[in-house]
A and B are shown apart, each in its own frame.
Chain A
Amino acid sequence: MIKIYLLSAVLSLALFAQAQDDVYPAKEYNGLLFITNSTVHVGNGQVTENATVEINNGRIVRVGTNIAVPQGGVKVIDAKGKQVYPGLILPQSDLGLKEISGGVRGSNDYRELGDLNPNIRSVVAYNAASSMINVLKANGILLAATVPQGGTISGSSSVVQLDAWNWEDAAYATDMGIHINLPSFAAPRPTAAAPPIPAKADEIAKKALEKVEEVKIFFREARAYLQETTHTATNLKLEAVKGLFDKTQKLFVHAGQVKQMLVAIDFAEEFGFEVVIVGGEESWQIAPLLKENNIAVILNAGHNLPSTEDEDFDQPFKTPAMLQKAGVLFALNDDASNARYRNLAFNAGTASAFGLSREEALSAITLNTAKILGIAGKTGSIEAGKDANIVISEGDIMDMRTSIVTHAFIQGREVDLASKQTQLYERYMKKYGLK
Chain B
Amino acid sequence: MKKIIFFWLYSVATGGIYAQQTFPVNGVADERSGTYIFTHATIVKDAQTTLQNASLLIQKGKIVAVGNDIAVPKNAVVVDCKGKYIIPSFIDLYSDYGITVASRSSGGFSYSAPALLISNTKGAYGWNEAIKADAEAAALFEADNDKAKTFRDIGFGTVLTHRKDGIARGTGTLVTLANKKENLVIIKEKASAHYSFSKGMSAQSYPTSLMGAIALLRQSYLDAAWYKSNPTAEGVNLSLQAWNNNEPLPQVFDANDKWADIRADRIGDEFGVQYIIKGGGNEYQRIKEIAATKATFILPVNYPQAMDVEDPDNARLVSLNDLKHWEMAPVNAAAFEKAGIVFCLTPADLKDPKQFLPNVRKAIENGLSEQKALEALTKTPATLLGVYDKVGSLEAGKLGNFLIASGPVFKEKTIVYQNWVQGEKYAVQEADWNEIKGIYSLVLYSGKGNINYTINVKNARAASIINADTLPVKFNFNGRLVSLNFQPDKKSKSFIRLSGVVNDDGSWKGNGTGVDGNSLLWTALFSGTTTIKPDSASLPGDLPMAKITYPFGSYGWDELPKQETLLFKNATVWTGEAEGNLANTDVLVKEGKIARVGKNISNMSGARTIDATGKFLTAGIIDEHSHIATVSINEGAQSVTSEVRIGDNLNPDDINIYRQLAGGVTSSHILHGSANTIGGQTQLIKLRWGANDEGLKFKDADPFIKFALGENVKRTTSPVNNRFPDTRMGVEQVLTDAFQRAVDYENALKKVSVGTGKKKQAANPFATVRRDLELDALVEIMRKKRFITCHSYVQSEIIYAMRVAEKFGFRINTFTHILEGYKVADKMKAHGANVSTFADWFGYKMEVADAIAYNAAIMQKTGLNVCINSDDAEMARRLNQEAAKTVKYGGVPEEEAWKMVTINPAKALHVDDRTGSIKTGKDADLVLWSENPLSIYAKPEKTIVDGTVYFDLEHDLQLRRTIAEERNRIVQKMIGEKKSGAPVATFKPSTYITLSCGDDHENDDEQINMQ
Q: Which residues of A contact B (CB under 8 A)?
A: 99-105, 108, 111, 131-132, 135, 185-196, 200-202, 257-259, 303-306, 308-310, 312-314, 337-340, 342-343, 346, 349-350, 352-353, 398-401, 403-404, 420-422, 424-425, 428-429, 432, 434
Contacts and interface: CB of A to CB of B under 8 A. Distances in A.
A342 B839 CA distance: 12
A200 B932 CA distance: 49
A102 B988 contact: no
Nearest to B863: A432
- Of B313, B655, B658, B998, most buried by chain A (CB within 10 Å of CB) is B313
A12 B656 CA distance: 50
B840 A432 contact: no
A102 B822 contact: no
A202 B106 CA distance: 25
A195 B106 contact: yes
B986 A200 contact: yes
Given A308-B316, A313-B659, A339 B993 contact: no
Contacts of B986: 200-202
A434 B858 contact: yes
Given A308-B317, A340-B843, A186 B989 contact: yes
Contact of B875 (A132, A191, A192, A303): A303
B844 A401 contact: no
B221 interface: no
Contacts of B413: none
Contact of B822 (A196, A258, A428): A428
B852 A101 contact: no
B991 A190 contact: yes
Contact of A343 (B632, B840, B990, B991): B840
Contact of B967 (A195, A310, A398): A310
B622 interface: no
Interface string B364-394: 0000000000000000000000000000000
Contacts of B659: 305-306, 313
Contacts of B937: 349, 352-353, 399
A313 B841 contact: no
Interface stretch (B345-353, B513-521, B879-887): B879-887
Interface string B839-863: 0111111100110111001100110
Please give me the 3 A-B residue pairs with the lowest Cβ-Cβ distance, nearest first: A102-B1003, A102-B845, A193-B1011
- Of A131, A421, A422, most buried by chain B (CB within 10 Å of CB) is A421
Interface in B499-549: none
A10 to B, nearest CB: 23
A131 B857 CA distance: 21
21 contacts: A100-B844, A102-B716, A102-B845, A103-B717, A103-B846, A132-B843, A193-B1011, A195-B105, A202-B986, A257-B313, A309-B993, A338-B841, A338-B844, A340-B844, A343-B840, A350-B878, A350-B936, A353-B936, A353-B937, A428-B822, A429-B858
A185 B316 CA distance: 14
Nearest to B873: A305
Interface of A: prevailing SS: loop
Contacts of B873: 305
A346 B875 CA distance: 13
A186 B317 contact: yes
Interface of B: 105-106, 108-109, 313-314, 316-317, 319-321, 553-554, 631-632, 655-656, 658-659, 662, 711, 716-717, 822-823, 825-826, 838, 840-846, 849-850, 852-854, 857-858, 861-862, 872-875, 877-878, 881, 884-885, 887-888, 890, 894, 932, 934-939, 956, 960, 963, 967, 986-995, 998, 1000-1005, 1008-1009, 1011
A340 B850 CA distance: 14
B625 to A, nearest CB: 13
A392 to B, nearest CB: 15
A351 B938 CA distance: 12
B1004 A102 contact: yes
A431 to B, nearest CB: 8
B989 A189 contact: yes
Contact of A193 (B108, B711, B841, B1001): B108
A400 B842 contact: no
A338 B313 contact: no
Given A192-B993, A192-B1011, A340-B844, A400 B888 contact: yes
Contacts of B843: 99-100, 131-132, 340
B858 A304 contact: no
- Of B716, B842, B857, most buried by chain A (CB within 10 Å of CB) is B842
Given A305-B994, A353-B936, A338 B878 contact: no
Given A193-B1011, A434-B862, A338 B317 contact: no
Nearest to B829: A432
B930 to A, nearest CB: 9
A424 B960 CA distance: 47
B852 A424 contact: yes
Contacts of A101: 844-845, 1002-1005
